[in-house]
Amino acid sequence: MESRSKKSVVIVGAGIIGLCTAHYALKKGHTVTIVERGNPEHDMASLGNAGMVVPSHFVPLAAPGMVSYGLRTMWNPESPFYVRPRLDRDLIAWGLKFMRSATAEHVARSAPILRDLNMLSRACYVELARDFGNSFGLVQRGLLMLTRTSHAFEDEKRAALQAHALGIPADIVTPDEAARIDPGLAMNINGAVFFPNDCHLSPADLVHKLTREVQAQGATIQWNTEVTSWEANKAGAMDRVKTTSGFIEADEFVVAGGVWTPQIARQLSARLPMQAGKGYSLTVPNLPKQPRVCSILVEDRVAVTPMGNTVRFGGTMEITGLDEQINHRRVLGITKSVTRYFPEYTPNIFDGISPWCGLRPCTPDGLPYIGRLIGHKNVSVAAGHAMMGLSLAPVTGLLMSQVLSDEVPAVDLTLVAPDRFNNRTITHH
Ligand SMILES: Cc1cc2nc3c(=O)[nH]c(=O)nc-3n(C[C@H](O)[C@H](O)[C@H](O)COP(=O)(O)OP(=O)(O)OC[C@H]3O[C@@H](n4cnc5c(N)ncnc54)[C@H](O)[C@@H]3O)c2cc1C
C-alpha cells in the first residue's frame, strides 16, 4: 500500500486503548472513526479497574512461580488466582505458551520494555492531565506494596533491588515509615516497598473525558456497531470492514477490542493467543478514613485506590473464559483481605456495595500486542495489556500513531509484535 501522511483510520473498540489510539492518531492529523459495538454507556474493563499507573510493574504475569502458585491456590474458592480447568484447545495452547514463558530469562528480557513503556505512559498521563485540566483525577503520590508476612516482605525487598537495577526508584520502608507516607489510614503490616513514581486516577472519568475529546477533535464514534468481517482489495490490502451497520472503508485499521481481539482478527488468519483474566472491584463511598496513596496488598493481590470521595478495592485473576458472572466467594476473598490489612475497615463497609467485574485481555507471555500484522500491512493490533491496560494506554496510543504515520516508534516493538506466536508456530513445523 502506498504510504500517505494523512490517512483515514478505523479503530475497532472504544475502550481505553482504542480511545488513546484515536487521541494520538488525531494529533498526527489522521481522520479517525471508532467502531464500538456497545452504546455510549456500555460497561467494559476500562471503567471499573483499579486506576493505577504502574512503572513499578516491570515483571510480566508470565514469571517464575506463577504456575506453581496457580496450582497451589486452585482448590481455594477465595484465592486471588484461579484457572478453571477446561478441555478447550485455545486454553491448553495458551497454558503451554504461558508455562514456556514463565522463566527468569523471559522476565529479564521483558522488564526493560515494560519499564520504558510504563515510564513513557506516565509522562503522557502528566501531559494529558495538563491538557485536560486534570478532569480524571491524576494523583502523583506513589504506590505502597504492603506485606503482612516476613516472607512476602523479603520477596518485595528483592523486587525493590531489581527495580533499582532498572533505574526505577523504590524505597524499602518500615511500618512507621509507611504510616508517614500515608497517614490517612492505619495499616496492619510487616513492611512495605514504596514506588514514588506510580500514580492513580479515576478510569471512568478518563474514559468519558477522552470520549468527548476525540469527538471534539473530529473523530466519529459509531456506537452499537459490531465489526463482523473484513474485505481485502485485489492487491491484498484490507480496504473495508463489514459491520452490523454496513461497510466502512479506510486506509488503516487498528483492532483494539480488548479480550475479544482474537475473535475480531481471526478472519485475518492472525493467531493472537489470549485468555480473559476476570477481576472484580468494589467501590465504597464516603468512608470516614481514606488512604492518600494507592496500595497493593501483596499476599492477597488486592489493589486499593482512593478515587475522589470513594475507595476502590480490586482483585482476583480468574482464567474462566469469556464469562462475566460474578463469583461471590472470590469477592469475599477480596473483602476479607482488606479488613486484615486495614484494621479500621470492618466487613460491614461492603454492605450494599455491588461488585463489578471486568475481563483483562491476557497474552501468554504477559506482554501486549502492539503493531502491524505481518500478513496485512494496513491492519494493526493494540490489545492484550492484561493488568496494565490503563497504565499503558497512552503510550500504546502514541506508538500506534507513530506506526500509522510510518514513523519509527519511540520504543522498539519487536518484543510486543502481534505475530510473535505465529512465527514461533511456523518455526516449529
Ligand atoms: C479488577 C481489575 C483491576 C484492574 N486494575 C488496573 C490498574 O490498576 N491499572 C491498569 O493499568 N490496568 C488495570 N486493569 C486492566 C485494564 O482494565 C485493562 O487492561 C484495560 O481496560 C483493557 O482495555 P481495552 O481497551 O484493551 O479493552 P476493553 O476495555 O475491554 O475495551 C474493548 C472494547 O472493544 C469493544 N469490542 C469488542 N469486540 C468488538 C467488535 N467486534 N466490534 C466493535 N467493538 C468491539 C468492546 O465492546 C469494548 O468496548 C484492571 C482490570 C481489572 C478487571
Residue 385: give its domain's CATH number.
3.50.50.60
Q: Which domain holds residue 164?
A: 55-102+138-199+274-362
- 358 plus 304 within the same structural domain: yes
Q: Taking all residues of the chain, what is their mean pLDDT, rounded to a whole number? A: 94
Greater model confidence, 14 or 65 = 14
Asked whether 227 lines ligand 1 (CB < 6 A), one says yes
Q: Which of 335, 362, 389 is the last residue of a domain?
A: 362
**Burial state string for 350-374 with b = 16 or more CB within 10 A and e = fewer than 16:** beeeebbbbbbbbbbbbbbbbbbbe
Question: From the CB of 363, is ligand 1 less than 6 Å away?
Answer: no
In a domain, 95, yes or no: yes
Residue 262, ligand 1, Cβ within 6 A: no
Q: What number does the ligand 1 atom closest to the CA of 18 have? A: 25
Q: Is residue 343 part of a domain?
A: yes
One domain for residues 214 and 357: no
User: What is the secondary structure of 135-201 as a DSSP string?
Assistant: TT--B-S-EEEEESSHHHHHHHHHHHHHHHHTT---EEE-HHHHHHH-TTS----SEEEEETT-EE-
User: Which atom of ligand 1 sits closest to the CA of residue 35?
Assistant: 43
Helix ranges restricted to H, 365-419? 389-404
The answer to whether residue 115 sits within a structural domain is no
Question: Could you tell me the distance, in angstroms and rounded to a whole number, from the CA of residue 264 to the centre of ligand 1?
Answer: 15
Residues 377 and 241 in one domain: yes
- Please give the Cα distance from 159 to 181 (Å, whole number): 20
Are 269 and 353 within one domain?
no
368 lines ligand 1 (CB under 6 A): no
What does the block give as the cell for 364?
501468554
Distance 50 CA to ligand 1 centre (A): 12
One domain, residues 308 and 380? no
Q: Both 96 and 170 in a single domain?
A: yes
71 against 245, higher pLDDT: 245
> What CATH number is associated with residue 90?
3.30.9.10
Separation of 90 CA from ligand 1 center, angstroms? 20
Q: Is the CB of 243 under 6 A from ligand 1?
A: no
Give 98-131 as a DSSP string.
Answer: HHHH-SHHHHHHHHHHHHHHHHHHHHHHHHHHHH
* Nearest one of 13, 24, 2 to 241, comparing CA atoms: 13
Assess whether 353 and 370 both reside in one domain: no
Is residue 362 a contact partner of residue 274, using CB atoms and an 8 Å limit? yes
Distance CA 154, CA 157 (A): 5
Of 362, 390, 415, the position where a domain reaches its end is 362
Domain boundary among 304, 335, 362: 362
Q: What average pLDDT does the segment 55-61 reach?
A: 93
Mutate to test the pocket of ligand 1, among 49, 274, 367 (most ligand atoms within 8 A of CB): 49
Q: Does any domain span residue 71?
A: yes
Whether residue 194 is contained in a domain is answered as: yes
Identify the burial level of 236 via C-beta atoms within 10 angstroms of its C-beta, where 0-12 means exposed, 13-18 middle and 19 or more buried: exposed
Residues 318 and 382 in one domain: no
pLDDT of 42 higher than 50: yes
Residue 70 CB less than 6 A away from ligand 1? no
Asked whether residue 218 falls in the same domain as residue 184, the answer is no
pTM of the model: 0.97
CA nearest neighbour of 225 among 377, 4, 13: 13
For 199-232, write each residue's pLDDT tens digit. Answer: 999 999 999 999 999 999 999 999 999 999 999 8
In a domain, residue 175? The reply is: yes
The reply to whether ligand 1 has any atom less than 6 angstroms from the CB of 314 is yes
Ligand 1 pocket mutation, candidates 223, 260, 357, criterion most atoms within 8 A of CB: 260
Q: For residue 355, which phi and psi values (nearest 5 degrees)?
A: -70, 145
Q: Which residues contact 89 (CB under 8 A, 6 or more apart)?
A: none
Cβ pair 41, 85 in contact under 8 A: no
pLDDT at 59 over 70: yes
Does ligand 1 come within 6 angstroms of the Cβ of 319? no
CA separation for the pair 240, 348 (Å, rounded): 53
Q: Is 254 in the pocket of ligand 1 (CB under 6 A)?
A: no
Tell the burial category of 426 from Cβ atoms under 10 Å away from its Cβ (0-12, 13-18, 19+): exposed
| Cross-strand pairs, 192 | 146, 173
Q: Does the Cβ of 303 fall within 6 Å of ligand 1?
A: yes
Buried b / exposed e along 395-420 (16+ C-beta atoms within 10 A): bbbbbbbbbbbeeebebebebbbbbb
What's the 114 CA to ligand 1 centre distance in angstroms?
18
The DSSP output letter for 15 is: S
Residue 128: which residues within 8 A CB-CB, separation 6 or more? 136, 138, 394
The CB density around residue 259, as the number of other CB atoms within 10 Å, is: 24
Please state, in angstroms and as integers, the Cα–Cα distance from residue 234 to each residue in 1, 231, 251, 253, following that order: 11, 10, 14, 17
Reported as a single tens digit per residue, the pLDDT across 361-396 is 999 999 999 999 998 989 999 999 999 999 999 999
**In-domain check, residue 90:** yes
Residue 423's pLDDT band, with cuts at 50, 70 and 90, is low
Cβ–ligand 1 contact at 50 (below 6 Å): yes
The alpha carbon dihedral of 365, 369, 371, 375 has a sign of positive
Reported as a single tens digit per residue, the pLDDT across 97-108 is 999 999 999 999
Q: pLDDT class for 427, splitting at 50, 70, 90? A: very low
CB 336 within 8 A of CB 80: no
Same domain? 284 vs 246: no
**Ligand 1 center to 361 CA (angstroms):** 7
d(CA 185, CA 284) in angstroms, rounded, equals 15
* Residues 195 and 255 grouped into a single domain: no
Mutate to test the pocket of ligand 1, among 39, 263, 385 (most ligand atoms within 8 A of CB): 385
Share of the chain above pLDDT 70, in %: 97
CA of 15 to the centre of ligand 1 (A): 6
Segment 114-119 mean pLDDT: 97
CB of 279 shorter than 6 A to ligand 1: yes
How many residues are listed for the chain in this entry?
A: 429
* 65 vs 129 pLDDT, higher one: 129
Q: pLDDT for 248-283, tens place per residue?
A: 999 999 999 999 999 999 888 889 999 999 999 999
CB distance 260 to ligand 1 below 6 Å:
yes
For ligand 1, atom 12, name the residue with the nearest CA: 388
CA-closest candidate to residue 256, choices 368, 416, 365, 367 = 368
My answer on whether 142 and 29 are in the same domain is no
Residue 93 lies in a domain: yes
Ligand 1 neighbour 160 (Cβ under 6 A): no
CA dist., res. 186 & res. 179, Å (int) = 7
Q: How many folded domains does the chain comprise?
A: 2
